[in-house]
């Protein structure tokens, strides 16, 4: 099966140029001017960009959390991702104290297999540093291809790990060539502030933000960076929400620490005042870390532009407003944390970033795809448009104007945090390993066609491409 995508403008992290792309089965075979191949299906991309399929390094699908389970599973979540131009996700596999890592991975394979529409990998949570867990990590990295380990520094009495566990995970990661990821907030201090607020009768959603101050995020970020330096290891800080935390990352980088930072669309566009919306609507805007004062947004945009933050995750963690978010009526600490963003992540960055002149088109590709591919062992099969790479491609209309809404999105939840937001740009067609999964804005994929990817170690490439052998 051959396809030629003609007349599009190819955009990678480094180049923008007009060329045709010849695809054979799953792979890009040729890129050039005026490619002719009589047996190929011809797709005209005139007037459109062609981006490498976006990579979402941060999703929570079918995940039990906050007394409920995220609404989007691997089928609805990856389908929505595809509509948004994302062709690979890396989802967080949760583990349980006292249980084996392999049982957790097995459970996550069970959730995703036969459901995912796009390719996927797993990050593995490390919640304790028992001898049994430490002994199992090498197999996860070396054999299971799970080359990133996640430590939560917050969510006390639930996901939170102590500094000993973080440090031992950093040492193991250094030894094995894995990347440690942290949710950086000081969970102990937050736990105190939450209890104090509730004791004073402060129960509204806004207190979620007020009990998780920027200091708690910056302190944990700085601590994790320092421990990474001490271990000589490598660290990726997820969902950086504020200037103070971004500065800790920049400062650590300037000291030569191998540290990377991710932010998310909500922190670039929304602010703390959304949590004050009446009729409990503020619950729709409960994330951890929380939305911040608006002035932080300029700092985050500049950090993306200057490379102090390098990636954008969706932190997809969706709950219905009715029936799930409302578990926290009368007690903000019971509002399930998280929101639906897997679908709109890419288009928000294009519209708010490229169209508003904050980042270049090539930076947009780097931030939504290439950098994540390199950090998480997917490059160069994923994350770029090159001969030998997987034909994961997005044909993108860079000029169409549209309005984000729960009425038109494909996520399984009953609200969209960006409801009514006017944006420019939309994926028209999306290919996953050479197959259309979205064609002319219609879903034509199949549940189960997405493959689990055993990822390369930190700093290594996934597979030598045919032309490089």
Residues that bind ligand URP (CB under 6 A): 60, 183, 239, 287-288, 315, 317, 337-338
Q: How far is the CB of 309 from ligand URP (least distance, A)?
A: 16
Q: Which is nearer to ligand URP, 28 or 286 (CB)?
A: 286
* Residue 194: its H or E element: helix 187-199
Q: Which is nearer to ligand URP, 11 or 342 (CB)?
A: 342
From Zn ion, ligand URP, none, interface partner of 397 (C-beta below 5 to 8 A by class): Zn ion
Q: How far is the CB of 300 from ligand URP (least distance, A)?
A: 16
Calculate the alpha carbon distances from 189 to 193, 313, 318, 348 in Å: 6, 26, 26, 33
- Check if the beta carbon of residue 24 is closer than 8 Å to that of residue 1: yes
Residue 310, SS3 per DSSP:
coil
From ligand URP, Zn ion, none, interface partner of 287 (C-beta below 5 to 8 A by class): ligand URP
Q: Which is nearer to ligand URP, 76 or 337 (CB)?
A: 337
Tell me how far apart the alpha carbons of residues 348 and 418 are, in angstroms, rounded to a whole number: 9
Tell me how far apart the alpha carbons of residues 315 and 119 are, in angstroms, rounded to a whole number: 17
- Check if the beta carbon of residue 197 is closer than 8 Å to that of residue 210: yes
**Which residues have a Cβ under 8 Å from the Cβ of 356 and sit 6 or more positions away?**
none
The runs of H, that is alpha helices, within 232-315 are 243-254, 265-269, 296-306
**Which residues have a Cβ under 8 Å from the Cβ of 298 and sit 6 or more positions away?**
none
Q: How far is the CB of 338 from ligand URP (least distance, A)?
A: 3
From ligand URP, Zn ion, none, interface partner of 262 (C-beta below 5 to 8 A by class): none
Q: How far is the CB of 93 from Zn ion (least distance, A)?
A: 12
Residue nearest to Zn ion (CB): 183
From ligand URP, Zn ion, none, interface partner of 291 (C-beta below 5 to 8 A by class): none
- Check if the beta carbon of residue 253 is closer than 8 Å to that of residue 308: yes
Q: Which is nearer to Zn ion, 263 or 363 (CB)?
A: 263
Q: How far is the CB of 317 from ligand URP (least distance, A)?
A: 4
From ligand URP, Zn ion, none, interface partner of 112 (C-beta below 5 to 8 A by class): none
Q: Which is nearer to Zn ion, 315 or 392 (CB)?
A: 315
Q: How far is the CB of 213 from ligand URP (least distance, A)?
A: 16
Q: Which is nearer to ligand URP, 5 or 181 (CB)?
A: 181
The residue ranges that bind Zn ion (CB under 5 A) are: 183, 315, 397
- Check if the beta carbon of residue 337 is closer than 8 Å to that of residue 286: yes
């Amino acid at each position: 099966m051959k396809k030629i995508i003609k007349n599009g403008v190819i955009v990678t992290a480094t180049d923008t140029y007009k060329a045709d792309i010849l695809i054979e089965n799953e792979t890009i075979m040729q890129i050039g001017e005026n490619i002719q191949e009589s047996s190929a299906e011809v797709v005209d991309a005139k007037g459109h960009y062609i981006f490498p399929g976006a990579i979402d390094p941060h999703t929570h699908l079918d995940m039990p959390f906050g007394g409920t389970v995220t609404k989007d599973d691997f089928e609805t979540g990856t389908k929505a991702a595809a509509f948004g131009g994302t062709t690979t996700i890396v989802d967080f596999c949760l583990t349980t104290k006292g249980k084996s890592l392999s049982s957790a991975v097995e459970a996550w394979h069970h959730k995703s297999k036969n459901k995912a529409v796009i390719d996927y990998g797993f990050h593995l949570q490390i919640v304790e540093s028992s001898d049994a867990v430490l002994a199992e990590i090498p197999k996860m990295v070396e054999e299971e291809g799970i080359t990133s380990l996640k430590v939560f520094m917050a969510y006390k009495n639930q996901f939170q790990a102590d500094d000993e566990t973080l440090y031992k995970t950093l040492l193991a990661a250094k030894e094995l060539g894995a990347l440690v990821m942290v949710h950086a907030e000081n969970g102990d201090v937050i736990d105190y502030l939450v209890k104090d607020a509730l004791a004073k009768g402060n129960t509204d959603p806004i207190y979620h933000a007020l009990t998780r101050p920027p200091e708690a995020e910056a302190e944990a970020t700085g601590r994790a960076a320092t421990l990474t330096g001490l271990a000589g290891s490598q660290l990726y800080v997820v969902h950086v929400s504020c200037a103070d935390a971004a500065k800790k990352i920049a400062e650590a980088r300037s000291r030569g620490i191998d540290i990377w930072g991710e932010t998310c669309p909500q922190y670039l566009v929304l602010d703390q005042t959304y949590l004050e919306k009446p009729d409990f609507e503020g619950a729709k805007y409960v994330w951890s870390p929380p939305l911040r004062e608006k002035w932080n947004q300029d700092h985050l945009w500049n950090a993306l532009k200057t490379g102090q933050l390098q990636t954008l995750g969706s932190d997809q963690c969706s709950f219905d407003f009715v029936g799930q978010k409302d578990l926290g009526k009368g007690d903000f600490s019971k509002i399930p944390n998280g929101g639906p963003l897997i679908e709109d992540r890419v288009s928000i960055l294009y519209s708010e970033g490229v169209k508003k002149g904050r980042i270049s088109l090539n930076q947009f590709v780097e931030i939504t795809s290439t950098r994540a591919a390199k950090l998480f062992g997917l490059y160069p099969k994923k994350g770029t448009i090159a001969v030998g790479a997987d034909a994961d491609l997005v044909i993108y209309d860079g000029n169409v104007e549209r309005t984000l809404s729960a009425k038109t999105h494909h996520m399984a939840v009953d609200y969209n945090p960006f409801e009514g937001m006017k944006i420019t740009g939309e994926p028209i067609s999306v290919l996953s390993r050479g197959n259309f999964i979205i064609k002319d804005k219609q879903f034509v994929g199949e549940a189960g066609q997405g493959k689990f990817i055993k990822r390369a170690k930190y700093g290594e490439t996934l597979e030598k491409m045919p032309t490089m052998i």
